Amino acid sequence: MSNGPSTSKPGVAFELEATLPGSRKSGYEFLVLQKPGRSLKKYVFIQDETKYLPKVLDRYLSEFASSTAGVNIQGNNQGKRSLAETAKELYKVYGPMYFQYKLRQMVGNKIKAKVFGGQNTVEAVARKHGVPVHRTADVNSEEFRKLLRDLGVEFIVSISGTQLYRKELRMQTPFGIVNCHGALLPKYRGLMPSFWTLANNETHGGVSVHYVDRKLDNGPIVVQKKYAIEKTDTLEDVMARGKGIAAEAIVECVKLVEAGDPPLMPNLEEESTHFAMPTAEDVKRFKGHGRRFV
C-alpha cells in the first residue's frame, strides 16, 4: 500500500492508493468501499470501563463477532496523563463521594466478572462472544501494528478509546478507523463531553461516530444521533443515555461502511469547540445549573 497527495480535500496530508478490490479514493486518509459483497475484517479498541461499555460491546459483537479479529482494552487514563494522574484529577473534579462511588462500581464489577462469570467487564463480554482480547500499552507500537497486519485487520472501531491513533496505524488500516465520541461534533471535542454538555446547560446531547484523522475528533462523521437533556438529568443519566444511543450508532456506522460508499457529514474545524479536564470553577458552574453527578 502506498500513499500520495490528496487532491479532493484541502488540508489532508496524504491518501491511500485505491488499489484494493471494492474501493475507491475518498479524499481522506482512508478508502471508501464500493459494494464489496463481504464483511470487513474488523478490530475493536475500547476503554476498560465496567458500567456502560460492556453493554455497548455486547450490542456490537451480537452483530459482528464473526468478522471481528480481536478487542484491545485500553486504560482509563485521560490524554497524556498516567492512570494515577488521571485518578488524582478526577478526584478533584468529582469530590470524594462520587469518586468513591465510581471506584467501588468499577472494582465491584471486575470482581463479579472474575468470581461469578458475569458480563460486567468488556473482557468478559468479548470472551462470551469468542473474540480474542489483546492488551498493549501503545496501539501505535510496531509490535502491535504487526499483530493487526497478521490478523488481516482492514477496519477499526474505537469505542471510547483513550489513545491517539497515529499516522502509521491509520495508514495500514485501509478502510479507516472510526471513533464514537459522546457529543454532537464538531462541538465538544476533547475530554468528558457529557460533563461539559451539562456544565454549559445544553438542552440536547448526542453521539457522533466519525472517521479518525490526524487531529483529535476531527474526521468526517458517518452517523450522528441526538437526545434531549432534561432539567433533572444527572451526569450518570446523561452518560447512560448517550452510551445506549452509541451502541446503535456504532452498529449503524459499520453497516453503512460495509454496504459501500457511506455518507460523510462535515466535521468542520472552524465550527469546533474543545474541552479539557474541568476545574473547580467548572464544577461550581455545573452545580449552579442544579446538576448532580448521581
Check whether 19 has a pLDDT greater than 80: no
pTM of the entire predicted model: 0.90
The H or E element spanning position 109 is helix 83-116
Span 50-95, pLDDT tens digits: 899 999 999 999 999 999 999 999 977 666 677 788 888 888 889 9
CA angle 224, 230, 236 (to 5 degrees): 75
Check whether 45 has a pLDDT greater than 80: yes
Q: Residue 78: what pLDDT?
A: 67
Check whether 100 has a pLDDT greater than 70: yes
CA angle 148, 154, 157 (to 5 degrees): 85
Domain positions in the chain: 30-288
Partners of residue 134 on adjacent β-strands: 72
Span 173-209, pLDDT tens digits: 999 999 999 999 999 999 999 999 999 999 999 999 9
Hey, how many other C-beta atoms are within 10 angstroms of the C-beta on 136?
15
CATH classification for the domain delimited by 30-288, as one of 3.40.50.12230, 3.40.50.1700, 2.40.160.10, 1.10.357.10: 3.40.50.12230
HSE, side-chain direction, 13 A CA sphere, residue 65: 14
3-state helix, strand, coil in the chain (%, to 5): 40, 20, 40
**Residue 149 cell numbers, joined:** 497486519
Tell me what the pLDDT averaged over the chain comes to: 89
- Residue 160 banded pLDDT, cuts 50, 70, 90: confident
CA distances from 262 to 26, 215, 230, 257 (A): 10, 21, 33, 5
- Positive or negative torsion for Cα 164, 180, 21, 41: positive
Which residue bears the cell 490478523? Answer: 151
Contact 161, 178 (CB under 8 A): no
Here the contacts of 8-14 (C-beta below 8 Å, separation 24 or greater) are: 12/213, 13/167, 13/214, 14/167, 14/171
Residue 156 to residue 145: CA distance in whole angstroms = 12
Burial class (CB in 10 A: 0-12, 13-18, 19+), 267: buried
Which of the 8 DSSP states describes residue 186? T
CA distances from 38 to 22, 35, 224 (A): 10, 8, 25
